[in-house]
Each structure stands twice: as C-alpha cells, then as structure tokens.
Structure 1
Amino acid sequence: MPSLSPASVVTALRAAGCVFAEDEARLILSTARTPDELAAMVDRRVAGLPLEHVVGWAEFSGLRITVEPGVFVPRRRTEFLVEQALAHAPDASVVVDLCCGTGAVGAALAAALAAALGRVELHAADIDPAAVRCARRNVASYGGQVHEGDLFAALPDALRGRVDILAANVPYVPTGEVGLLPAEARDHEPLVALDGGTDGLAILREVATGAPAWLAPGGCLLVETSGRQLPAAVEAFTRAGLGTRSAYSEELYANVVIGVGVVGAVGM
C-alpha cells in the first residue's frame, strides 16, 4: 500500500482529537519501520489507543521506557517523585518501586544513583502480571529484580529494615471517578492501576501503614497524590509513625508526600 505522508498523518490524528497531532505524528513516523506498520500505528492511535502503547515506549526522566499493551503508562508528573526521592536520599543503596507498572520510577532512580554511586540494589513489585513482565525489561540493565504480588507481600523478607527509598506510585483515583478519566486511561490501562478505593486513598493508607517495617533508619517513603487528597494523605503517613512532609511542583502539577522512617521505630 502507498505510504502515508507526514501531512496526512497529522490530519488523521487531528481529526481524531489528538491535541498535539504534529508532535505525535513525528513520533509515529520516526518509529514505524514500514508503510504498513505506519498505517497500522495511525489506525490504532485514531481508535484511541494511548500514544505510548502505539509506539511502544514513553520518555521518563530522560530514559526511554518500554510500554507494553495493557500496562499503565508512566506520567511525566511522576518525574517529580523521582526528583524528591533523589533529593532526600542521594546516597541510597537499596530502592524499592512498589506498584511499579512499567518500572519507570525504579529505572529512573537506579539510573541516577548508579551514575553517581555505582551499582544500586533495585527491587520492583506489582500485582499485575503484564506489568511485571514489562518492568523486567525496563530494569534489567540495572540488575533490578521484579516481584509479582500484592504490595509488601511480593517483596523478599530480606528487605525488611533495609530500604532507603520506597517509591510507591499507588492508584489514587476514587472509585466513583474512574469513569470520568480520559478514554485512553479507562479503556486501555488496568483498573487495578487506577482505582484507589472510595476516596482514592485505600492503597496509600495500606502502604503507609506497612512501610515502617521495610524502611532503613532514615529511609523514605514517597507517594504521589492529588492536591484535594493531600491533607488526608499526610495524616495517613503521620498516623503510621512517619516523619511527614509534602512537596508540590507547579510545573508538573504534582503533589508528593514524603515520609521518613524514625530511627528505632518498629513497623507493623
């Protein structure tokens, strides 16, 4: 079949409602290897598949992260969580990426820490088998291990009391609001990666409660949340016995709660 021209790709994407049609067209055109593949990629994007699922990758913290079909797409705002983790624990040697999805957060942390300090011990975990398979591809070059299971139950017991950075990009959309998400998310990303329970904070509270048992002295837990949920999220961290603060990025419109393990504290 004849190859689509760049202009026709832009036109098709714009007609489908893609706000950044020109930018998306450049990515698709640079990724497609054949005219048939180009046409198929344009068709998938026009049908509503997330761009990252169409091209098979997403840029995150300067890395190209593999994104497989059906796996949660890493958001650029979550780069702020990575920045906050590195600012708090620039010499971290043990990192856990909980609710890891593609493993983007763990890969970004490992890349930065390894560049500065040498090898870092990286573990990631997710309850979704598709996410686990995808994350293994993204953390392999850092020697990362990916575990399948529900939150802390997935982690090796030997990590207890040793984790310097515990990054948990938990789902935080209230159940009743999942249907209001853009179709790209609600139709093509796993519900388990989006639905945070009645008020969106069920998983966050569970992670905050369990974290002290896994953190090294002075280790930190970082979780992304919305501005509306921030006060309740901070309260959950405080109740768990964590020294708690929050940070906000106006540029990325991102809120991160940071909890620091208290020396000598006994986790649950």
Structure 2
Amino acid sequence: MESEGTKVFFRNNLLFLRKRKKFSQEHLAKLLGFTRSKYTALENGQTENPLLADLIKISEFFSISVDRLLKTDLSYWSEYDLRKMETGGREYINGKNLRVLSITVTPDNRENMEYVPIKAKAGYSAGYADPEFLAALPKFSLPNLPSGGTYRMFPTTGDSMLPIPEGSEVVARYVQDWKTLNPATLCIVILRGEQDFVFKEVTVQKNGTLLLRSFNKNYAPYTVEANEVLEIWRYVKHQTDKLPEPETDLQEIKKMLADMQHKWTKE
C-alpha cells in the first residue's frame, strides 16, 4: 500500500493508535467488527490494499480522517494535538478531556492519599497514569480535608516559593477543570518529560497558556503551553519541620514602612 515516492503510515498509525488506547489486537478487532486475523494482517502490513470501507470504519472509530491515517506519522504528534484533532479542533484547555485520573483505593473503597517522595519526583510525569507506579507510592490520610476531592502530597525543592520553606510537603487537590482556577492560584503543576513538577502561582491566560509565578521575586515568571501540562493540583495546605526565623531589626523596619505606605495609600 505504498506508491513510488509516497510514504504511507497506515500500518504504523494503526499500531500506534491501538497501543495509545491500550487495546489488545483481539479486543480492537472485536470493536471494529473484524476477525482477529483480518485485523492482524492490517496492522502487520500484510493487506496490500485495504478496503475503503475498512479504512472509513477505522477512521470513524479513532475520529481521525482517512487522509491523516494514511499520510501522517501520528507518533510524532503531541497528546494535545491528537486530542484536538479527535474533537474536531475544539480546545481542551480546561483539562477535562486530558484523561481519567488514576487513583488507588483502600479495602473499603475509599480513595488513598498518595505521597510522592523526592526519589519518585523525577519519574512522576512518566508514571502518573500507571496504576503500578501509583500503587508503589506511600499512602496516608489526613483529617479535616474537604470531602469529595482527590488529594496528593508533593515535596517542594528550591527557594522559589519563599517564605514557604524549602523542603515543605504540599497537600493539593486535583483540578479537573482548569478554567475554574482563579488568577494566581497556588498549584502543583505536573509538566511533561524531564521537567517533572513545579509549585507556583498559576494563572490560565486567555490565549490558552499558563502563567507560572514564584513568590520569590528573584525568579522571573514564565509561561507554558497547555500541551506541556499533564495535571494541576490546587494547594490546600503545607507542612514543614522548619521553624520560622525571628524577625531581624531590618525586617521589622521594612514591615513598618510597608504598613505606613499602605496607610498613606488608603488616605
């Protein structure tokens, strides 16, 4: 199924799309109404000229045009672009259609709260949707958390969010719809690849990007594209074993001047 000078990606795309859905060959064949042998021949490239009716059926099942199914290498597309194509170009910045959140539960069917230790931090963006990865994380419960949410605890590193101390543990609630976030909401943001996750003030901007800002003014704010974000978890509370340092005379003077400036502004 490849003419001279024309690269056809149908076989590779079919394999890619099946694995993306985590279907076995037998299961996908059943969903498409094919025999197992017919589907295997299509995916293995043993069918030289697939029937147009079969191409249309596969195209409709995956919500991808026949033209793209044949002529585009979909394995190079980001998950964001694939989702955008499947939904006919509709944006999904709200995060609702990204995926179903993987969770673990107790024997009595209550959601666990997982803790992501430092040693697992770098691997979270790869294993966040893997039930085996989540099952291996430490689990615990905290009192007085609002009911009905999914919570996780994440470690913080660096000093970008001072005065929240470096090494604090942040308890955060999963955000299903990103558009519900108020500007400058404190969040844990899970990023793709080796960027792992960051703790920042998050503002979802009108152009679809996310503005990330640190408390520490030594760190400049920056933006990320929506397709670089895997999950967002809204800050609930944090815990730390570091005692606050007593204020110095200079800090007290700065605070007094700030209070005076605020008073003058109001007057």
Q: Name the TM-score, length of structure 2 as normaliser.
A: 0.29
Q: Who wins on radius of gyration, i.e. which is larger? A: 2
Query: Normalized per residue, which structure has more helix?
Result: 1
Q: Name the TM-score, length of structure 1 as normaliser.
A: 0.29
